[in-house]
Amino acid sequence: MIKTTGVLHFTIPVSDTVKSLNFYKEVLGFELIQHVPQIDMVFMKCGDDFVNLTKSKTPINPNNGNDFLVHHAFKIEVDKYDEVKQSIIDRGIEIIHEEHRYEGIFHGKQFYFHDLDRNVIEINALEKVTDGFSEDQINNKNYKVFPNLKS
């Protein structure tokens, strides 16, 4: 077995690396490391973590409609939540889901929206990380993790 020690980077598929570079830089505050036009890839940094934007050769459709289960989550300071949320609204970006989660693994206020290619972005004012859902919740097929999520 390989013993990995963490995540080096993850790649987000995009249809236009230049437009997406500007979106992730201006909207989410990512730092540009390098744009490599020959392979249509952008290397960026978010805090201490790395994110690549790569031109997809296939259609990008990670979720149906406003579903948000396939997403990329980014942390913010807890006391910045309202300010950050308002900055998204002020840009005319629709928030597709919002909640203050007190169960599961990641507790805190969070909201979700689409990037330019309908990739779902989660902004999370992380308050704490827990052991997750209880066995009763997991084993109860009537329990709704996201009560407002359409099946």
Compute the average pLDDT of residues 84-108.
95
Predicted confidence band of residue 146 (pLDDT cuts 50, 70, 90): confident
Burial of 127 (0-12, 13-18, 19+ CB in 10 A): middle
* Residues linked to residue 10 through DSSP beta bridges, in sequence order: 51
117/151 same-domain check? yes
How far apart, in whole angstroms, are the C-alpha atoms of residue 128 and residue 102? 9
pLDDT computed for residue 149 by the predictor: 63
pLDDT computed for residue 145 by the predictor: 81
How far apart, in whole angstroms, are the C-alpha atoms of residue 71 and residue 67? 9
82/142 same-domain check? yes
Q: Please state the domain count of the chain.
A: 2
CATH code, 86: 3.10.180
Phi, psi of 103 (to 5 degrees): -140, 170
By percentage, how much of the chain surpasses pLDDT 90?
83
1/19 same-domain check? yes
